[in-house]
Structure 1
Amino acid sequence: MRRFFYDISNNISDERGLLHPQLSTLPIGANVELTESITHHWCRVLRANIGDQGILFDGFGGEYQVQLQTISKKHATVTLLAHINTDRSTSMFTKIGLVMSRGERMDYAIQKSTELGVTAIQLLSSHHGEVNLKPAQVEKKLAHWQQVAIAACEQCGLNRPPLIIAPVSINDWLQGSATHSSDSQMDVSPPTVSPIVTTLSQDPYYQILQQPADLRMQLSVPAAGQPAIPKSLPELLKQQSPYIELLIGPEGGLSVDECQQAANVGFEPWQIGSRILRTETAPVVALATLQALSH
């Protein structure tokens, strides 16, 4: 069955001002007004008909089997048939600090990281990075990359989209990490995300992102005499729900100062094999390796 993310951002569906509640607030058998994007894709592009069934998920847990009831020129409604209480999230929480790259390489990194269960991606700019967004570009790019993640969820079956967090400089992010880790009792501002997931980001599932990570690792260029993985990683992966932060630099690598700053706030080097990975490949290999080591 076709799967669609049911966007409740701004709680408004269309020009008629119809509200989009969380699916979990509605009883089975209730009729739901589809968002404009779902209506267009399912009913116009895919040419669905009344009586066809599909899956909706809003990111708050589980998914709903639905059946099309009405279709008009711009609008459609479905009936909630059943709630499927399934969560395909991985057993660990992972946040990637990812220096932005250009075009399809960035889309690929986000798409595949989503399929591999990443919890959040913090967008970064760095000294050797290719991309430095102007303030006017941030909202549009953030919405695009969040949609890339959501589309990957629709395809792979993940019911909780990763949060794509607005870009900051790597220096500012690492300084914030230092402050956060030195005082775990301090108030931490919620992440700046696209309006698509602003409400969703407040769900308890994502609150672990406000806490210090159990382990921080920087994917590093292979170097002689450097340990392949942090000594604490194998034991950490035996825990029920470990929280791991990864730092991945740009094609040109992090500068010496950035590497030192990362080390100063607890990022340990992690070498995956003897080859140098591209910036869009590194998240995929890192997340897949963590999952393999945890089983």
Structure 2
Amino acid sequence: MRIPRIYHPEALEVGSEIALHDDAANHIRRVLRMAPGQHLELFDGTNLTFSAEIIQADKKNVRVKITAGRAGSRKSPLHLHLGQVMSRGEKMEFTIQKAVELGVNVITPLFSERCGVKLDADRLAKKIQQWQKIAIAACEQCGRNSVPEVRPAMALDAWCAEQDSGLKLNLHPRAEHSINTLPLPVERVRLLIGAEGGLSADEINMTAQHGFTDILLGPRILRTETTALTAITALQVRFGDLG
């Protein structure tokens, strides 16, 4: 049986005994049905992973003892900040999950003119919490030890105006540049992915004013969730740790 990987949001220390947080404890107790004496792998957002043994598992809590720690970074040399205009249904969840698996460091959900998602403040806050949990679960699955931040949603123009020393890229079907023609080396990328209906002409002009470079992925028109994952993969192949 594969040893489960569990995220713990507080600093871990070898020799200590801790109670797992509610979500992790419920997963261990109700889904995996693990018992005292069985082992876990924990990570706390640093470049360390920890071996742990379950010492208590009941209806109230799950307690573990940290038995060993070791360094093990799986962080890409490319720092990727994904600005994703929010998509409807499960598409946004899918994009976040796979972006984390592919090595994205920061994800900012965006509103644009053609954004089809309409949420009030309370529902949006709950969505952000849900998306952060999806990011954590993706890290547990894929072996990442650092959890990407899912930032609060913001307007597209405000996100584009943020200061960033990295390369700024916007996908455009009539762009002259491809990812393979971008000059080496690149250590930081701010990647903008538009809504299902794309960006408006005014928004495209706005991104250019903020220093974004239009790039082309290929001859076919891709759905927004396909576009994000294809672009991230191509960037990791060119500048990161894939391939």
TM over 0.5: same fold?
A: yes
Q: Counterparts in 2 of 1:208-247, with a 5 A limit?
A: 212-222=164-174, 226-229=176-179, 233-237=182-186, 242-247=187-192
Residues 65-120 of structure 1 show CA distances to partners (whole Å, capped at 9, x for unaligned) of 10001222211211111112101111110001110001111111000000000000
Give the distance between the partners of 2:58 and 2:122, measured in 1 at CA.
Answer: 36
Is the partner of 1:32 in helix, strand or coil? strand
Is the partner of 2:110 in helix, strand or coil? strand
Report the equivalent of 1:12: none
More displaced 10-residue stretch of structure 1: 76-85 or 110-119: 76-85
CA contact (8 A) 1:234 1:293 kept: no
- State the AA in 1 paired with 2:178: A
Give the distance between the partners of 1:106 and 1:50, measured in 2 at CA.
Answer: 37
Q: Counterparts in 2 of 1:19-98, with a 5 A limit?
A: 22-23=11-12, 26=13, 28-98=14-84
Percent sequence identity is 36
CA contact (8 A) 2:180 2:238 kept: no
Q: CA deviation at 1:51?
A: 0.7
Report the equivalent of 1:158: 144
- State the AA in 1 paired with 2:225: E
CA contact (8 A) 1:68 1:79 kept: yes
Higher strand share: 2
Give the distance between the partners of 2:183 and 2:141, measured in 1 at CA.
Answer: 31
- State the AA in 2 paired with 1:78: V
- State the AA in 2 paired with 1:256: A
Normalised by the length of structure 1, the TM-score is 0.77
Q: Indicate which of 212, 234, 238 corresponds to 1:289.
A: 234
CA contact (8 A) 1:31 1:77 kept: yes
CA contact (8 A) 1:29 1:80 kept: yes
Q: Structure 1: give runs of 5+ residues left out of the alignment.
A: 9-21, 181-211
Is the partner of 1:138 in helix, strand or coil? helix
Report the equivalent of 2:6: 4
Q: Indicate which of 267, 275, 278 corresponds to 2:212.
A: 267
CA contact (8 A) 1:216 1:266 kept: yes
Q: CA deviation at 1:230?
A: 8.1
Runs of 4+ with deviation above 6 angstroms: none
CA contact (8 A) 1:129 1:251 kept: yes
CA contact (8 A) 1:125 1:132 kept: no
Q: Indicate which of 127, 140, 157 corresponds to 1:141.
A: 127
Give the distance between the partners of 1:217 and 1:45, measured in 2 at CA.
Answer: 41
CA contact (8 A) 1:230 1:269 kept: no
Give the distance between the partners of 1:249 and 1:273, measured in 2 at CA.
Answer: 16
Is the partner of 2:225 in helix, strand or coil? coil
Is the partner of 2:63 in helix, strand or coil? strand
CA contact (8 A) 1:50 1:69 kept: yes
Give the distance between the partners of 1:76 and 1:169, measured in 2 at CA.
Answer: 41
Give the distance between the partners of 2:147 and 2:90, measured in 1 at CA.
Answer: 20
Normalised by the length of structure 2, the TM-score is 0.93
Q: Counterparts in 2 of 1:155-194, with a 5 A limit?
A: 155-174=141-160, 176-177=161-162, 180=163
Is the partner of 2:5 in helix, strand or coil? strand
Counting matched residue pairs gives 238
CA contact (8 A) 1:123 1:165 kept: yes
Give the distance between the partners of 1:116 and 1:289, measured in 2 at CA.
Answer: 10
Report the equivalent of 1:204: none
Residues 119-145 of structure 1 show CA distances to partners (whole Å, capped at 9, x for unaligned) of 001110111111132212221010011
CA contact (8 A) 1:3 1:154 kept: yes
